[in-house]
Amino acid sequence: MEGLALVLIGGALFAQSWNFLGLYSDGRTVGAIVGSLGLAALLTLVLAPMVLIGGDEALMTELKGNIAKANPLAELTVMKMLIILWAAYAIGVGTQGIWDYEERAIGLYSAFLSAGTAVAFFYFATQLFNAYGDAVAISLSAATLVLSIVAGMVFFYLTVPFTVLRLVSGWFLLVGSIAVSGIGWAIITTIIEVTKP
């Protein structure tokens, strides 16, 4: 769930970065791509978690004492909340691109998105180390930190709007999307997995 969602969210941000950098001639292109990736990210909610409560059965039995210190339901809730927030953002960007609505609404939602993602960052950074080990805690914390910074950049570019931030926001989106997708691929390919803390 987590890895695939991060790859899809990273793909949506990558497509939006190309729009910010002026490489799409038509807004409907970015709308169709980002909207479909947002819908696909919502579908990941029905999949089993990959690193939160997932992993090898023998390792889970060995980690039972540490997992008991954590609150798996809270961790899954935070991750699902994060996926829903970013999927709604991607669907909103898709709707704006297809029907050419006002971009400021996306900028205002980005402020809420940045705050919600920052809450997830603080939760993952403080709660996951004892239960899941360094790799899981650092990867999910890094992904949420990058997403929070990217949402903040979109807020300042689209809401105010500072036109001078167009290229800066585009490059932040481009590099941030590659980082988030890379973390997602590392989770999917089990490079990042639950280890004994």
Domains, the chain, in order of start with CATH, read 2-188 (1.25.40.600)
Q: Tell me the C-alpha distance between 190 and 162, whole Å.
A: 41
Distances (CA, A) of 121 to 77, 105, 116: 13, 24, 9
- CB neighbours of residue 126 within 10 Å: 11
- Per-residue pLDDT of 131-187, as tens digits, reads 788 899 999 999 999 999 999 999 999 998 788 899 999 999 999 999 999 999 999
Model pLDDT, residue 54: 58
Q: 8: closest CA among 114, 147, 102?
A: 147
Model pLDDT, residue 58: 45
- Per-residue pLDDT of 9-31, as tens digits, reads 999 999 999 999 999 878 899 99
Q: 30: closest CA among 101, 93, 89?
A: 93
Residue with tokens 């996951």: 128
Q: Tell me the C-alpha distance between 67 and 52, whole Å.
A: 10
Q: Helix 2-20 crosses helix 166-188 at what angle (to 10 degrees)? A: 160
Which spans in the chain are helix H? 2-20, 27-43, 57-62, 64-69, 72-99, 104-127, 129-132, 134-159, 166-188
- Per-residue pLDDT of 37-96, as tens digits, reads 999 999 999 988 888 875 544 445 545 555 545 677 889 999 999 999 999 999 999 999
Distances (CA, A) of 88 to 33, 41, 110, 158: 14, 9, 11, 17
